Amino acid sequence: MDQTSNTIRTVHITVTNGYDLKGFKGDTPVTFVRAEFNQAFLGDSSKILVSPEGTAKYNFTSNIDLSPDGGITLDDLAHKPLFLTVTEVLPKEKKQKDEKTLTLGQAVVDLLPLLEGEESFETTVPLHPVQGSPLETPLPGSKQCSLDVKVFVAEPLLTPAQVSASNLLKVTLEAAYSVPESFMPVGPQQNYMVGLQVPSVGEKDYIMIFKNGNLKLGGEKEPVPRPKKWPIANILAPGANNIPDAFIVGGPYEEEEGELNHPEDREFRNQAECTKKRIVWDLESRCFLHPTAVSSLQKRIADCRLWPVEITRVPMIVMPKAKPGKLEKTEDENQLSFHGVAYVNMVPLLYPGVKRIRGAFHVYPYLDGTVFEKTKCLFSLFRDTGHHLIHNNKAGGLNSPLSKPLSKNLKEERLGKEKDIEGRPRLGELQAPSIKSQSSDTPLESEAPLSHNLEGQQYIEAGTYIVLEIQLDKALVPKRMPEELARRVKEMIPPRPPLTRRTGGAQKAVSDYHTQIKGISRAILTEYHRMFGKQGTKLESDIDNETMEEQKCQLNYELNCSGKYFAFKEQLKHAVVKIVREKYLKTTAFESQEELQTFISELYVFLVDQMHVALNQAIPDDVPSSTSTIQTSSNQLRLFAFEAEVNENFEMAAVYYEERLVREPQNLENWLDYGAFCLLTEDNIKAQECFRKALSLNESHIHSLLLCGVLAVLLENYEQAEIFFEDATCLEPTNVIAWTLLGLFYEIQNNDIRMEMAFHEAFKQLQARTLQTKLKSSATIENNEEGVKVEPSFGPWGVTQESSTAIKSEGLSGPNTALSSLDEFLEESPKAQSESQEPIITVQPRESSLAQKSSNVLLKELTTKKETSKCQDSSAFFSPTHYDTPQPPVTIFMETIRFLMKVNAVQFVHRVLAHELLCPQGGPSCEYYLVLAQTHLLRKDFAKTEEYLQQAAQMDYLNPNVWGVKGHLYFLSGNHAEAKECYERTISFVVDASEMHFIFLRLGHIYLEEKEYENAKRTYMQACKRSPSCLTWLGLGIACYRLEELTEAEDALSEANALNNCNAEVWAYLALVCLKVGRQLEAEQAYKYTIKLKLKDQALLEEIHSVQEMVGFGNPSF
């Protein structure tokens, strides 16, 4: 693999002491230590006499030189241990020329900590005795013999950044179960082998081969836990085979990721793993992945979901040691037998937080066509790379580089054979059992018919499967930690401020009663003025009694019909209760009805007297009322408008936008948002007025200029459009969008020369900005990445309104033609591209997430443009911080698409998409397909949407917006089960999708449908924290109500009602809560508004009626 430095680095290993040693010829033998690594001799220590206590001070140092030029590599440190062999030197006998030595034991040192960024570490490793060694029987009272070892390097082999970005892949091959009956433990000895390839950097793949499987007869299960073994041959001490602190622990079948993890497979697996033959390896092989190799691994997994794991056996023929050449020749002549393959689905490693795959995988006969069709692999690891891999001692789980030119030559040779034979099917189309050319009676040479792989067919007949574990040190896709999720959920419901301490007493109770009387009297007087005017009170002496009585009746009728009478009573209730408790000291139930009536009469007289006192002290009616009102912010109003758009309630959306304009008429963001909304509803004249109003507030505002130009083009005022666009390029010569829109304008005018000029300038500015971004430090990039986070988009994917406005906006022939031509081209281009090039995966994970986010922004805008998100996006878009995004778009056209999608300029979007498709730097990409998917989603063309989402997923499987849009697709098409799965995956990504608000809303809605109320509550709480609205509080209130948490439900529903008191469903659930807690007046009031606002949910209405019948109140019509 690529090394981190071109210089040779040295690892120093020092053996300091040995403990509890003894020899063959006594308890104080003379011993020395020999160090070996990678089958190379590193050195011997001095001969040291062991003390009577069994201690030896060796102080022996050996070195390992790491060289990037074909020597020992970091990958060798990852999967090969250091061996320390302790040998006893026997005393010389008479006439003996050379000293005799006997091996006592062997210790293993794992050097993996050096790849974790450590400069040094100390460890005490056990000294495992060889067979027949006196160390097998330790001294009385002593522990197992051991060695003290120190390992250090001059400087860390990897920097902290490299340690963070690199990874370690571990592959554990446990066993193959239910092997064919023809596998016999007697007869010629066989070498059972399994191999797979690991993608690396550049043109190299790394190969892992697990050799020397142990064929066992059935009878009992393999024990768990059992140690994992080093994939190294010729280890002297049996105990040294085991990797320290590494065990196979097994687990329930249902929790595995393989193919035999269903309940119906349990019986077969129990039988296979207990009574049938199996081949056991228990080997773990490691592969160190540099940062670039990690990206290569992600890309390979995304491109090839299934990886081939080959299995075979080769006869082991023992030849004299003096004839190694003969041995090699004889074995090379042996052909592979029982050549099979298992297909391992690696995609789960791309799930957020997943670091491990373990499961059972069926073994099938190895057939070239089938393997290529499933894995895109053109050559066999064992057959096509030669037997030198099989007999190379470098691994057992050997990792040896295989240069890809070999695979390319094989590919050319195979494809050449197919090309020479006309009419023969492509390699991927070959099928078993007999595949013949249409022009020949002989089978294809590149494919062995099933009848030629009868040995492999026995795997299917026997039901053979292998148990394999693939583990990474760090997840390829990080996931939010549970602690972080818990903290964020806790933040979603901040503690309410403590209640203000109030002074009590009878005097305070009466004073509060006076205050309430004064407030209510002012409210009634205001209502009277509204009905009859202020002149009525001034000319009261001139009004006869009959007229006054009539006005009184009308006023009482209005107060009762509007519900204000009941509201006044509720407002006064608390003050009356305080008087009862504080002045009359009544806190317990009355003993008799007579006592109650007496008290009520006394209380009534007192309250009436105090009412007159308060009225006589009434404040003039011009004093403002003390009634508090909830003020919504501009951002909240914008959110409410987006929600209304998604629900196709354009009238309510317009009300919210207009309210923002009334509150802040000097805020140009409000005008831009409203103009974008008018574009959505195809009111171009009003949109033009809004954009020009924004421009009048700031004549140097670039985006206002550009939008005025866009509207001028749509209204065919081309002279004005040219002025707007050119003015924008003059005010901000580095603005890529301004130059691109100017080029598009010149294209409409058929001015090719100026069009090329504008596009060239846009490319130049983009290139300069890209270079400037690359020069920034990594810390700056990380900070910018956080700043790129876009406010949740509130409308894109929920486009339920799309049909009317979206189809209208596409009504022009130009856009329709452009879109249809794109569709036709894309039906062919992805197929051709899939054959000629691999999907593009971003190499750097951090940049990948950034790119995902930008692409998501675009997508969201697309849907947005049509229905709802447009406005929210547009205002977010016009936010200066949003435009300081450090991540440059792939092309000038994609950046322009993002801008246009925010304002729903659909005609321009179609034109720019055509340029993006033909642009040399552009072409089909994840973001491109996401835009197309969203365009078709707005048109409710679900089939096309799914097709484009599949293309997007192939190019960027880790893009959270891909899963978010998939969720919206399934939600809108009614497949809520699939939508739920997609939404849950989306929120598990570390990087948020660009429209999390509606993802939370729809996921919560699905949870409510499926009666998963705890999950619904948690989801709506997150939505309330991010962007509270009437719908988020309503969902939270419903979840709490269904969980019988009535207090929390009432609080949430009250919040929803405060934000929108015209939502019938909110009133309906408030009625249910009041019914459950026994508050009759509030229940009847809420029910009245439910009916008045015409609740459409008949099931909910029937539920209210049912509860009313159960409690006996709540419906005034009873």
Each residue's pLDDT tens digit, 360-393: 999 999 988 888 888 888 888 887 765 444 444 3
Q: Is 118 left (phi over 0), alpha (psi -120 to 50) or beta?
A: beta
Residue from 92, 150, 75, 91 nearest 120 by CA? 150
Q: How confident is the model at residue 800 (pLDDT cuts 50, 70, 90)?
A: very low
Q: Give the span between the Cα atoms of 72 and 232, in whole angstroms.
A: 16
Average pLDDT on 479-503 reads 48
Which range is least confidently modeled, 236-250, 291-305, 530-544, 900-914?
A: 530-544
**Predicted pLDDT of residue 551:** 83
**Predicted pLDDT of residue 856:** 37
SS3 assignment for 838-854: CCCCCCCHHHHHHHHHH
Average pLDDT on 878-897 reads 56
Average pLDDT on 501-528 reads 79
Return the exposure string of 1039-1057: e unless at least 16 CB atoms fall within 10 Å of the residue's CB, then b. Answer: bbbbeebeebbbbbbebbb
Q: How confident is the model at residue 174 (pLDDT cuts 50, 70, 90)?
A: very high
Strands (E), 110-160: 120-126, 128-129, 146-153
Q: What mean pLDDT is reported for the chain?
A: 76
Q: How confident is the model at residue 430 (pLDDT cuts 50, 70, 90)?
A: very low
Give the CA diameter of the chain: 149
Predicted confidence (pLDDT) at residue 109 exceeds the cutoff of 70: yes
Q: How confident is the model at residue 500 (pLDDT cuts 50, 70, 90)?
A: low
Predicted confidence (pLDDT) at residue 1098 exceeds the cutoff of 50: yes
Predicted confidence (pLDDT) at residue 546 exceeds the cutoff of 60: yes
**Predicted pLDDT of residue 502:** 55
Q: Give the span between the Cα atoms of 586 and 577, in whole angstroms.
A: 9
Amino acid at 273: E
Residue from 1012, 1066, 1080 nearest 1034 by CA? 1066
Range with top average pLDDT, 311-320, 466-475, 766-775? 466-475
Predicted confidence (pLDDT) at residue 749 exceeds the cutoff of 80: yes
DSSP 426: P
Structure tokens that stand for 1111 in this block: 């409690």
Question: CA–CA distance from 827 to each of 897, 920, 948, 952 (Å)?
Answer: 22, 19, 10, 14
Average pLDDT on 767-781 reads 67
Average pLDDT on 230-239 reads 85
Q: Is the peptide bond before 244 cis (omega within 30 degrees of 0)?
A: no
Please state the pTM of the whole predicted model.
0.49
Q: How confident is the model at residue 332 (pLDDT cuts 50, 70, 90)?
A: very low
Average pLDDT on 632-653 reads 83
Each residue's pLDDT tens digit, 258-315: 888 877 888 899 999 998 999 999 999 988 888 888 888 888 888 888 889 999 988 8
CA angle 1048/1052/1054 to nearest 5° reads 115
Q: Give the span between the Cα atoms of 156 and 77, in whole angstroms.
A: 14
Which range is least confidently modeled, 53-62, 501-510, 699-708, 781-790?
A: 781-790
Q: How confident is the model at residue 536 (pLDDT cuts 50, 70, 90)?
A: low
Q: Give the span between the Cα atoms of 494 and 1021, in whole angstroms.
A: 11
Predicted confidence (pLDDT) at residue 822 exceeds the cutoff of 80: no
Greater confidence (1092 vs 807) lies with 1092
Task: Count other C-beta atoms under 10 Å from residue 464's C-beta.
Answer: 28
Q: How confident is the model at residue 478 (pLDDT cuts 50, 70, 90)?
A: confident
Q: Give the span between the Cα atoms of 415 and 426, in whole angstroms.
A: 8
Q: Taking the CA of residue 201 as centre, how many other CA atoms within 13 Å lie in the half-sphere pointing to its CB?
A: 14
Q: Is 386 left (phi over 0), alpha (psi -120 to 50) or beta?
A: left
**Predicted pLDDT of residue 717:** 85
**Predicted pLDDT of residue 537:** 52
| Burial group, residue 220, by CB count within 10 angstroms (0-12, 13-18, 19+) | exposed
Predicted confidence (pLDDT) at residue 415 exceeds the cutoff of 90: no
Structure tokens that stand for 944 in this block: 């096309």
Average pLDDT on 624-635 reads 58
Average pLDDT on 314-330 reads 52
Residues present in the chain in total:
1118
Which range is least confidently modeled, 66-75, 636-645, 949-958, 1091-1100?
A: 66-75
Cβ distance 286 to 199 under 8 Å?
no
Cβ distance 421 to 437 under 8 Å?
yes
**Predicted pLDDT of residue 412:** 44
**Predicted pLDDT of residue 159:** 86
**Predicted pLDDT of residue 735:** 92
Spell out the alpha helix ranges (H) of 304-399.
324-332, 368-375
Average pLDDT on 931-940 reads 79
Residue from 1043, 1037, 1084 nearest 1060 by CA? 1037
Question: CA–CA distance from 76 to each of 114, 123, 173, 340, 400 (Å)?
Answer: 12, 20, 19, 29, 10
